[in-house]
Structure formats: C-alpha cells, structure tokens
Amino acid sequence: MIHNVAHYKKNKWYTKQHLIDWFTCAGIFITESIIFNFVLQPNVRYEPDGSNFQAVQYPLLPDIVPAWLLMIIAIVLPMIVFLGFFINHRNGHDLHHAALGLFQAFTITMLFTDTLKIIAGRLRPDYGARVALNDAALIRDGRQSFPSGHSSVSFCGMTFLAFYLCGKTRVFLRDGGNIFTALICLSPFMVSSLVAVSRVVDYHHNFDDILAGSVLGLAISSFVYFMNFNSLFSKQCSLPKNRINPHYAKNALITNEDYVSLSFSQEA
C-alpha cells in the first residue's frame, strides 16, 4: 500500500464550524454538569410501603471502577490510540476528527444520561445503606440508578475506539478480516462490558440499568463516529470526512491503488 502523504498535508479540511463544534460541546458539558449536579434534584418516585424494600437493602460498597479510572478508560485510552496513529502517519485531519468525535460523543452521552437519571429518579440497590448514613450527597446520588453512567460512558468511549480500529484495519473489507484483527477491534467492547458488569457486582446498579446505559452509549457513539468518519464498508473507511471537499478521499490519495489504509503499508 502506498500513501500519498503530500495529499494529506495540502488538502484543506479545517473550517470555522469545527471550532464552533468544540466550543458548543464544551458549553454543553459545563452547563449540564452545573445544572444536573447543583440545580436539579432527582425525581422522588412514589414507592408503596414495603414494595421495594428488599431491592434497596444491599450494602454500600466502594466503586470497583472509580470515576477517575472510568475517565482513563473512556477518554485517555482512546486518545492514546489516536495519538499513536498520528505519530505513525502524521495526519492531523485524522487526529482532529477522532478527538472531536470522541468529545462530541462523550458530551451527548453525558447529557442524555444525566437527563434520564434526573427524570427517572430510580433508587440504587444500596439506597437503604445510604439513608442510614444520613449523608445528603450520598442520598441524592442514590436516587440516580437509571441508566448507569459508568455503562453509558464506557460504551461511548470504547465503541468509538472499536470503530476507529475497524476503520484503520479495514476489517470489513474483503482483504481485511482475520481472527487476530477481530480480537483487536472487539477488545474495547470487552473492556466496556467489564466496567458495566462491575456496577452490578458493587451493588450500585441493577442489570436493566447497565443494559440501558450500555445501549445509550453504544448508540450515541456510533451515530457520532459516522458523522466524522467514512463507512466501515467503504474503501475509504480509514479516512475522516471532509466538510470542505466531501470527495477528497477519492481523489489522488494513492498512486496505484483504489483504496487507502492508514494502518498498514508495504512496498508496491
């Protein structure tokens, strides 16, 4: 595979709209963090006497996956992979769209997740233990079981990373599939699944909470990925989209091939 590196460098792709996207996402993230954490209160659901007593009497345990580790898994790990491809191929267009897409997916996922948490007001399995401690912050958090934020955020980051790897390895093209490549591309889903299941093990969520969160993160991340990158079934699957020149990927990218891969190269 021969790469026309000069084409990447001279091809225009950055617009003011990208800057607007960055600031819009940052504004949404900051605003929703303030509103959902300090302004709005979770819905107080009507619970008939004793109807839900046993379901919320689990012990209060520390997070198996704390918030800081979740951020490393969902944000830092994908960024390390993006930077690795950038160091190898020096494609700023690809790095920018990967970072922007991840930030867009994360912001939208958090907005949807926090909105549903506040509206649903579902009690966590360890809610009884939280009430016994008489800690206002713990009790408030105990009313935000549905959907699981850990599940939605981890599946958001790992789905984006999995699709990114699928594109770079061209796994869905005729010459791209093998068991080793498949395991590499699917490994992010294993990571996100382990994060989601940990929320049941430490009694912070029910199974339907993590299922809803997982589907939410996967769906939003998939939507955002394909806003920024080409179809995984396209010969240009390894390339980001271009708002200035939508057909740039088909023009002069290679000297003697019909497709391009940013991940592997060999002498013609």
Total structural domains in the chain?
A: 1
Q: Can you give the pLDDT at residue 92? A: 84
Cβ atoms of 151 and 213 closer than 8 Å: yes
Structure token pair of residue 70: 């979740």
Q: Does residue 58 lie in a domain region?
A: no
C-alpha–C-alpha distance, residues 242 and 87, integer Å: 21
**Residue 21: inside a domain, yes or no?**
no
Q: Please give the single-letter amino acid code of residue 251.
A: N
In a domain, 61, yes or no: no
pLDDT of 134-170, one tens digit each?
Answer: 999 999 999 999 999 999 999 999 999 999 999 998 8
d(CA 113, CA 225): 19
Quick one: pLDDT at residue 2?
A: 35
- Omega prior to 147 cis, within 30 of 0: yes
In a domain, 60, yes or no: no
Structure tokens at 68: 């800081």
Token pair for 125: 């399995």
Compute CA distances 20 → 17, 25, 27, 92, 246, whole Å: 5, 8, 10, 18, 19
Question: In this structure, is residue 187 part of a structural domain?
Answer: yes
Query: By residue range, what is the domain housing residue 112?
Result: 73-121+148-202+210-250
User: Is residue 108 in a domain?
Assistant: yes
Q: pLDDT-based confidence at 246, cuts 50/70/90?
A: low
The identity of residue 179, as a single letter, is I
By the 8 A CB rule, do 139 and 60 touch? no
Q: How confident is the model at residue 122 (pLDDT cuts 50, 70, 90)?
A: very high
CA dihedral 219, 100, 158, 236 (to 10 degrees): 80
For residue 32, pLDDT beyond 60: yes
20 domain residue, yes or no: no
Q: What is the pLDDT of residues 58-91, one digit of tens each?
A: 999 999 999 999 999 999 999 999 999 999 887 8
Query: Is there a contact between 188 and 165 (Cβ–Cβ < 8 Å)?
Result: yes
Domain membership of residue 229 (yes or no) is yes
- Determine whether 71 is exposed, middle or buried from the number of CB atoms within 10 Å of its CB (0-12, 13-18, 19+): middle
Residue 250 pLDDT > 90, yes or no? Answer: no
Looking at residue 17, what is its pLDDT?
A: 85
Residue 37: exposure state from Cβ atoms within 10 A (0-12, 13-18, ≥19): exposed
